[in-house]
Structure 1
Amino acid sequence: MFSYLQKLEEDSRRLQAITTHNQTPETNPTFTPFDDQETQIDAPPSLSKEESNLFNPLFDRQPEKPIHERSSEPGFIGEASCAAFSNRLLSCLDDTYTPSTAGLSNYNRMNTYGRLPVDQGPEFPERMHVKLLLNVARRFIGNYHPLFLKVTFMKEIDAVYRREVVPSALWLSMRLAQSLGMHRSASRHITLTPVERESRRRTWWVLYFFDRFSASKLGQPITVRDDDIDVEMPSMDGLTKDEMAEFLDPQNLITNIKLAKIIGNILTHIYGIPKATNGLYIHQVHGILKQLREWHDELQPDMRVKERGTPRPVASLHLAYNQCIIQTTRPVLLHLFKTQFQLGSKVREDASPRQNVSSITLALAESCVNAAQASSRIVEGLFLDGSIATFGYWDAHHIFSAAMILIMSAVMKPTAVNSDHLETLLSVLRSLKNDGNIPAVDFCERLSDIQARVLNLRATGRLDGMSFDRPPPIIQTPSSLPKEVPQAQDQPFQTPMSMDNGSGVVSWTGIKYSG
């Protein structure tokens, strides 16, 4: 017995020595935010000293300017949101700019006092018209988000028109789903039919996707961590042929779930509270893009973008994918933008007219611009097919996000291709605004503010900044770039930028990269 205890002590000391030798306080966690070996960066990029100590540029640790308003406490706008990024860009262009605290557009409220009392119940449309509307909704969202059981729901619709009663709707939230334990694997002792169990799973994963998707747009943290979820993925396993008729093919939903998990990584590791990561931000960005590239490579042929006639659900999926690339890399682009033109509150007078920037940093910035151009092509296709959500929020949001990136690129590195993509986005956004899209009104105002400040800096000569020396490339084609995105040709251009349909023309004659 004594010899056995001695052996355990020796093994314990040996294991402790190995652990101490392989780890340091700064390597726990490792240089990437992922524990899965499949998501590790193939080769850590070589960075300059300044880039090695770089935090997320959006968290510049500068005190926020006080907002002297008595009306109400300003709403929180997370750094991951496009509204926060536009505030950062405007603050970069204008030192006196006060960030906007409005997170959502103001809607006109109707006066309810003059309404007549309604004694009768609501009038429903004709039964077949309801089915037509449901089919339109299903065509728009596709097979990705199973919002109802197809057979059972249609039977309930028929029952409504037979009984002439109003069906009750249960609005689920993430908190309610968690309180019901939907994020956990259903225990074996719970009596659920196969249809109920699969419906429970799919309902949770739909809520999961929209939670991550909405959080990324609003800049909010995720509601539940992936480590706390062990419910099974959607599948047809264990279902009879009649039971399978209730559900759609789960592959599309699974693809959305995988993208939602990457969105959670973006919010946690790119836009989480800054920590002393010893300058590992660039590595984290590169690791996220590697995951996005792998997700894109696994797509089925019918889930890829076509030149014309791309199904609306597929287009929405790829707009979300491009937005993930933009959201991940735009802090790097903003950092280069501020460095090239020495913008912001801290201007270095001794700055060199040319600066060395690593190939990986330039590749990350270029992937951001390429993703914005890819979104422009998708938006153009949707507009030509008449599939733009005229009064929707997400389409206008994606247009606004891509337009900001292309404006920055137009100042830094003018290209004719960039000019066409930017004008396409602005034209569609103006069209949405004129058609009554409320979010587009706010987005147009923000782009107009950016336009005015760029013109002011152009007039004062502050946009005649330094240029970058591109070092010998480490990789010929950045692995993070979507493979179908072509490279732009360097060429100066002019692009109309008036959001009020004016005749003003803004000339984006910026400093090109050297090399």
Structure 2
Amino acid sequence: MPLVIGKYGWMKGIHLLWSLSNESLTSITDSYLEQLLKDSQELHDQRYRLKKESRPNGQEQSSGPQQVHGDTANVNTEPLSQSNLLGEKPWFQSNDASVVPLYISEATCAAFATRLCQSLKGTNMPIPHLPRSRYTDESAISSSLYTDVQWPGLTALGHIIPSFHLALKKDTLDMLHGVYQRGDFDNPSIKCKYFALFAIAQVFSTPHDLSDTSSVPGLAYFAKAWSLIQVVPERPNMIHIESLLLLAFFCQFLNRFHSAYVLIGNALRLGLSIGLNYNIPQTQNLHPVAREHRIRIWWTIYVLDRFWGSKSGFPVQIHDEDIHVDPPSISASETYHDQFSDGAYQVAAIELAKIIGDTTGEIYCRKISAETFLHREQRLLTQLKQWVRSLPEHLRLSAEKPNPKHTVQMHLQFNFCVILAIRPVLLHVLTLKMKNQTKQSMDSISPILITLSEACIHAARHSLALCVNEWTGGSLAIFGYSFPAFLFSAALILMISSLLPLGDPSDLTSAETATEILKNLSLSDSLASRDLYERMQRVRQCLHDSPIYSTSALSHGPVDNVTNMLPMGEESDSESLRPHQSPNNLQSTMGPLEDLGHPLFESNVPYLTTEMALHQPTMLDFLTQSHVDIGLLDPVEMFNDFDLAFSMSST
């Protein structure tokens, strides 16, 4: 019986084999199987010819073997596009066939560090991706369940930083007083919520003690709350959703990205089930505090979803068109100041979270877009420019007085969003520089790409200045994820800047300052800092071994000894940069925090912000170009060929 394999030949063949009886299966001859393989090969060759003929200009594809794991970004001369940025295939890491491969998002700082190492190497040799290996695993959480924890004093909740609306302030304290008065310490829902609150309070109130690195503070309370939470209640209530948010927020201290993402997803879907994304009609006669609480809890879900999305590269779990609820009320903060924190801050955080979600979705996702890459860059930077201009005065950075911690963190998040949007362009410029190391001029680079790169470098310098100011003032969070991520992302950009004519060699010294702070944070058992410090050490080694290093200004001049400032290994007898000490190496290269001494900065502005980079003449020209002009930019290539080898672990 002849067998013809056409468009659906394999499917028909499978159905045929399933329909055969056992006797028929044993009668299949060797020649029949050989014919099957021959027809299959002919079909494969035919499809290859058709695909080859359909390529424009007869563009060839490499006939070499495909990587089993890893992602390869094509070298081409197409305009900046999603294919240039992300490559043809999703990026997975998998060396162990017995373990499920894990997705690596190009939006993560770890992925960008691996790309940077590949570019610095200047070859197509595989560069191993360093996985996220330091996190509190399930066994450590389970063992903490047996730790005896007590209900702490009523003052414990005073240490929680009010960056997010996680619970009503007065009602939470009143309920806690009632628990103590009644001696009702066994209610599972209440116990879960307060143990999660106590965990956050403990981690924020723990002093900087490098001698005790046994575990993350608050882990025992977290483990108790974790064991009490019900994942899928059929009738959720606000206390349950609050508990999910508190646990998701604490996951940053344990470096557990996936757990946080799942917890936020559960809170989101339970919120949808009770309609948190809609306004409750006035006919429901709900108390204004309860109404505003619903609104703010929803927007906290939204902000945390975007927060983890920007740090871990996960897609947002709900889109703006599905949200029909009012923003937080500023007047409610004034009328019920004992229940709600500053409404203006909440609104600004929500708007910034929206832009961050758009950035990861527009720059790093694989959806097909009718817009060019630079057009999307233009729209995102315009949104960021409008956001910072709309800030009320009390949420702007001040040079005259200390800035509140949550305000500093919001501006660092703004800088991070600028870096996240532009750093693929900066890496592309470095790749072009690597191709011709003898040229110091940037004449061959499009002025728009230079403008974008300068804005990215500006944001990194300002982020580092803010982080150093927090560190030397003793207010930088030891165990959180945000500040280490801000330091790490800024340091990577400054390393690139030190190699480019549009940057400054002294930026490498500033990057070393960030590395030293990460080292000190890692000594306090900050799991995120340990991971990021290890990645930074690998990038530094790649920089030192890079062929561009020997031809750059880094190999001689005033920063000649910069690679010897810090050891390549974990151990060091050198003096570490400690809190409350003046970071001399930063001041010598960047100047005082009020004047970083760079041509991009305007000396008549009392306190430098990344907003200034968005007001440079060339940037303003870019932001006001028409869509047609954007589409007529000179074609550029985004990345070199990247062959990436991975080890099996979590991202």
- Is TM-score (shorter-chain normalized) higher than 0.5? yes
1:336/1:252 CA distance change after superposition, 3 Å: same
1:156/1:174 CA distance change after superposition, 3 Å: same
Query: After superposition, what is the alpha-carbon deviation per residue over 1:120-151, rounded to whole angstroms, capped at 9, x for unaligned?
Result: x8422233xxx2x32221xx33xx42222122
1:360 matched residue in structure 2 = 448
1:205/1:452 CA distance change after superposition, 3 Å: same
Contact between 1:236 and 1:244, CA under 8 Å: does it hold in 2? no
* Separation of aligned partners in 1, 2:316 and 2:144: 41
Question: 1:157 aligns to what SS in structure 2?
Answer: helix
Show the 5 A alignment for 1:8-47: none
1:410 matched residue in structure 2 = 498
Question: 1:433 aligns to what SS in structure 2?
Answer: helix
Compute the displacement of 1:88 (Å): 1.6
Contact between 2:92 and 2:101, CA under 8 Å: does it hold in 1? no
Show the 5 A alignment for 1:246-257: 246-257=339-350
Structure 1 position 312 matched with structure 2 position 405: yes
Higher relative contact order (CA 8 A, sep 6+): 2
Structure 1 position 159 matched with structure 2 position 178: yes
2:559 is aligned, of 493, 503, 507, to: 493
Compute the displacement of 1:103 (Å): 4.0
* Separation of aligned partners in 2, 1:193 and 1:111: 43
Compute the displacement of 1:426 (Å): 1.4
Contact between 1:91 and 1:98, CA under 8 Å: does it hold in 2? yes
1:105 matched residue in structure 2 = 134
Q: 1:418 corresponds to which letter in structure 2?
A: D
Compute the displacement of 1:267 (Å): 1.6
Gaps of 5+ in 2: 1-75, 194-239, 245-266, 575-651
Moved more, 54-63 or 307-316: 54-63
Structure 1 position 179 matched with structure 2 position 273: yes
1:249/1:493 CA distance change after superposition, 3 Å: same
1:93 is aligned, of 116, 120, 127, to: 120
Structure 1 or 2: larger helix share? 2
1:68/1:188 CA distance change after superposition, 3 Å: same
Query: After superposition, what is the alpha-carbon deviation per residue over 1:322-370, rounded to whole angstroms, capped at 9, x for unaligned?
Result: 1000000000001111111029xxx9xxx99975222221110111111
2:461 matched residue in structure 1 = 373
* Separation of aligned partners in 1, 2:141 and 2:485: 31
1:435/1:329 CA distance change after superposition, 3 Å: same
- Aligned-residue sequence identity (percent) comes to 27
Contact between 2:516 and 2:566, CA under 8 Å: does it hold in 1? no
Compute the displacement of 1:109 (Å): 6.7
1:430 matched residue in structure 2 = 519
1:242/1:152 CA distance change after superposition, 3 Å: farther
Question: 1:448 aligns to what SS in structure 2?
Answer: helix
* Separation of aligned partners in 1, 2:397 and 2:100: 44
1:477 matched residue in structure 2 = none
2:158 is aligned, of 135, 149, 162, to: 135
Question: 1:198 aligns to what SS in structure 2?
Answer: helix
Show the 5 A alignment for 1:413-492: 413=501, 415=504, 417-458=506-547, 464=551
Q: 2:392 corresponds to which letter in structure 1?
A: Q
2:302 is aligned, of 189, 208, 233, to: 208
Contact between 1:57 and 1:332, CA under 8 Å: does it hold in 2? no
Q: 1:233 corresponds to which letter in structure 2?
A: P
1:427/1:152 CA distance change after superposition, 3 Å: same
Compute the displacement of 1:409 (Å): 1.1
Size of the aligned set, in residue pairs, is 414
- Tell me the TM-score normalised to structure 1 length: 0.72
Compute the displacement of 1:106 (Å): 3.7
Contact between 1:58 and 1:88, CA under 8 Å: does it hold in 2? no
1:194 matched residue in structure 2 = 288
Contact between 1:75 and 1:102, CA under 8 Å: does it hold in 2? no
Compute the displacement of 1:96 (Å): 2.8
* Separation of aligned partners in 2, 1:240 and 1:370: 35
1:503/1:332 CA distance change after superposition, 3 Å: farther
Between structure 1 and structure 2, the one with the greater Rg is: 2
2:486 matched residue in structure 1 = 398
Structure 1 position 224 matched with structure 2 position 253: no
Compute the displacement of 1:493 (Å): 2.8
* Separation of aligned partners in 2, 1:89 and 1:77: 15
* Separation of aligned partners in 2, 1:456 and 1:71: 35
Compute the displacement of 1:113 (Å): 9.9
Query: After superposition, what is the alpha-carbon deviation per residue over 1:291-325, rounded to whole angstroms, capped at 9, x for unaligned?
Result: 11111112222212234622111111011011000
1:402/1:241 CA distance change after superposition, 3 Å: closer
Query: After superposition, what is the alpha-carbon deviation per residue over 1:405-452, rounded to whole angstroms, capped at 9, x for unaligned?
Result: 111111224626524432321121111011211111111111111122
Structure 1 position 74 matched with structure 2 position 101: yes
Show the 5 A alignment for 1:104-123: 105-107=134-136, 122-123=149-150
* Separation of aligned partners in 2, 1:87 and 1:354: 25
1:197/1:405 CA distance change after superposition, 3 Å: same
Compute the displacement of 1:203 (Å): 0.6
Compute the displacement of 1:187 (Å): 3.6
Query: After superposition, what is the alpha-carbon deviation per residue over 1:448-507, rounded to whole angstroms, capped at 9, x for unaligned?
Result: 11122222223xx68749x9xxxxxxxxxxxxxxxxxxxxxxx86342353536599xxx
Compute the displacement of 1:392 (Å): 1.4
- Tell me the TM-score normalised to structure 2 length: 0.58
1:463/1:294 CA distance change after superposition, 3 Å: farther
Compute the displacement of 1:161 (Å): 1.2
Structure 1 position 268 matched with structure 2 position 287: no
2:373 matched residue in structure 1 = 281
* Separation of aligned partners in 2, 1:207 and 1:375: 26
Q: 1:224 corresponds to which letter in structure 2?
A: I
Q: 2:181 corresponds to which letter in structure 1?
A: R
Question: 2:345 aligns to what SS in structure 1?
Answer: helix
Q: 1:408 corresponds to which letter in structure 2?
A: I
1:199/1:362 CA distance change after superposition, 3 Å: same
Compute the displacement of 1:186 (Å): 2.0
Compute the displacement of 1:199 (Å): 0.8
Moved more, 317-326 or 165-174: 165-174
Query: After superposition, what is the alpha-carbon deviation per residue over 1:374-414, rounded to whole angstroms, capped at 9, x for unaligned?
Result: 11111111112211111111111111111111111112246
Contact between 2:93 and 2:104, CA under 8 Å: does it hold in 1? no
* Separation of aligned partners in 2, 1:106 and 1:463: 37
Compute the displacement of 1:182 (Å): 0.8
Moved more, 359-368 or 184-193: 184-193
* Separation of aligned partners in 1, 2:94 and 2:145: 43
Moved more, 53-62 or 398-407: 53-62
Query: After superposition, what is the alpha-carbon deviation per residue over 1:162-208, rounded to whole angstroms, capped at 9, x for unaligned?
Result: 12223242234112112222112224554522221111001101111
Contact between 1:309 and 1:381, CA under 8 Å: does it hold in 2? no
Indicate the RMSD between aligned Cα atoms, in angstroms.
3.5
Contact between 2:478 and 2:521, CA under 8 Å: does it hold in 1? yes
Contact between 1:325 and 1:371, CA under 8 Å: does it hold in 2? yes
2:424 is aligned, of 325, 331, 356, to: 331
Gaps of 5+ in 1: 1-48, 468-490, 505-515
* Separation of aligned partners in 2, 1:336 and 1:288: 20
Question: 1:411 aligns to what SS in structure 2?
Answer: coil
Question: 1:254 aligns to what SS in structure 2?
Answer: helix
* Separation of aligned partners in 1, 2:89 and 2:334: 61
Q: 1:213 corresponds to which letter in structure 2?
A: F
Compute the displacement of 1:218 (Å): 0.6
